[in-house]
């Protein structure tokens, strides 16, 4: 591994945090993450109710933010509804990153016919809109958590594979790769020890973008009734359940919408900061 890859890891994150948008994105993301992970722990003592308890008439001004379509406390539902969205989004993104990185690195490193076949299969999958593919799979297999994660992760993989392949093609001709091959290092070690650490910049940018898309897809599927099913608390499901009374009791919709919007904006700003930090690192290295 070249010495540059060992000495630029810490400055990379310093460059991200040195940017104003990086600080804002990190702050927004941390706020929503804390709310999603700590929210379920606050129930029921913070609101006096659980997420599934019936406390008043539907859409009545009960408590701080009123009740939802079935008379459950909106704030309690909101506190309990973010964890699943975050966990599913992270798992789907991680699955897509692992599959995409492996496919893209192998395609670039092996090359030839294998590369051509993999890239053409990628093009076929990319021709199908991600949300349409997810709707089809969930309709067939059912709205289960593992289906959501698997489908979204698999549909992310071709896009990530393209990024990984492009980044790998830029480093496979470096001297340290040739030296590793000359010493007959196993191919998997070359990929993991030499190639992967030197393409983490582009992959980290892509991970931020894919996480943003995962959040949007899972929230959209829940809104369409193909994500978590009632009586589970979920931000996307809350929007669907309470949209019929938006003019009467808007908080059942506004709270999850604001949280999802802040999380999406935060991850987008972080991804953009990663891209700028990666570009500045490349300029300095050259």
Determine the average pLDDT of the residues in 132-155.
89
Specify the pLDDT at position 11.
62
Taking Cα atoms as reference points, which of 163, 168, 156 lies closest to residue 211? 156
Spatial distance between the Cα atoms of 75 and 94, rounded to a whole number of angstroms: 30
pTM for this entry = 0.85
Specify the pLDDT at position 90.
94
- What percent of the chain stands above pLDDT 70? 93
Determine the average pLDDT of the residues in 263-269.
91
| All structural domains of the chain | 15-285 (1.10.3720.10)
CA dihedral of residues 187, 191, 192, 196 (deg, nearest 10): 170
- In three-state secondary structure terms, 254 is helix
What's the angle, vertex CA 33, arms to CA 12 and CA 281, rounded to 5?
10
Taking Cα atoms as reference points, which of 274, 222, 239, 260 lies closest to residue 29? 260
Confidence of residue 1 (pLDDT cuts 50, 70, 90): very low
pLDDT, tens digit (0-9, with 9 covering 90-100), for 157-211: 999 999 999 998 888 877 777 787 777 777 778 888 778 888 887 888 899 889 9
Specify the pLDDT at position 275.
79
Specify the pLDDT at position 178.
76
Enumerate the β-bridge partners of residue 73.
67
Is residue 151 pLDDT above 70, yes or no? yes
Confidence of residue 264 (pLDDT cuts 50, 70, 90): very high
Contact 157, 196 (CB under 8 A): no
Quickly list DSSP for 69-132: TTSBBHHHHHHHHHHHHHHHHHHHHHHHHHHHHHHHHHHHHH-HHHHHHHHHHHHHHHTS-HHH
Taking Cα atoms as reference points, which of 20, 96, 85, 88 lies closest to residue 263? 85
Confidence of residue 285 (pLDDT cuts 50, 70, 90): low
Is residue 13 pLDDT above 90, yes or no? no
Determine the average pLDDT of the residues in 53-61.
91
Specify the pLDDT at position 34.
94
pLDDT, tens digit (0-9, with 9 covering 90-100), for 62-99: 888 999 999 999 999 999 999 999 999 999 999 999 99
Dihedral of CA 80/85/86/92: which sign?
Answer: positive
């Amino acid at each position: 591994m070249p010495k540059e890859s060992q000495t630029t890891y810490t400055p990379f994150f310093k460059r991200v945090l040195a940017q104003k948008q990086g600080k804002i994105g990190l702050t927004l993301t941390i706020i929503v993450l804390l709310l999603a992970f700590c929210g379920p722990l606050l129930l029921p003592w913070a609101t006096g109710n659980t997420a599934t308890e019936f406390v008043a008439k539907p859409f009545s001004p009960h408590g701080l933010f009123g009740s939802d379509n079935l008379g459950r406390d909106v704030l309690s539902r909101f506190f309990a509804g973010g964890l699943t969205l975050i966990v599913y989004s992270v798992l789907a993104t991680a699955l897509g990153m692992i599959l995409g990185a492996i496919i893209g690195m192998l395609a670039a490193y092996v090359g030839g016919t294998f590369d051509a076949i993999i890239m053409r299969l990628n093009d076929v999958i990319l021709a199908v809109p991600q949300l349409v593919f997810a709707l089809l799979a969930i309709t067939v297999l059912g709205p289960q958590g593992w289906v959501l994660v698997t489908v979204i992760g698999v549909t992310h993989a071709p896009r990530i594979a393209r990024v990984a392949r492009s980044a790998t093609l830029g480093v496979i001709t470096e001297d340290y790769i040739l030296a590793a091959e000359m010493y007959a290092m196993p191919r998997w070690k070359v990929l993991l020890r030499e190639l992967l650490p030197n393409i983490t910049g582009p992959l980290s940018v892509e991970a931020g973008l894919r996480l943003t898309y995962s959040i949007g897809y899972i929230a959209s599927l829940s809104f369409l009734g193909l994500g978590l099913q009632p009586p589970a608390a979920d931000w996307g499901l809350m929007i669907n359940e309470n949209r019929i009374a938006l003019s009467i009791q808007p908080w059942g919709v506004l709270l999850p919408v604001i949280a999802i919007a802040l999380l999406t904006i935060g991850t987008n700003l972080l991804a953009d900061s990663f891209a700028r930090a990666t570009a500045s690192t490349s300029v300095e290295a050259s």
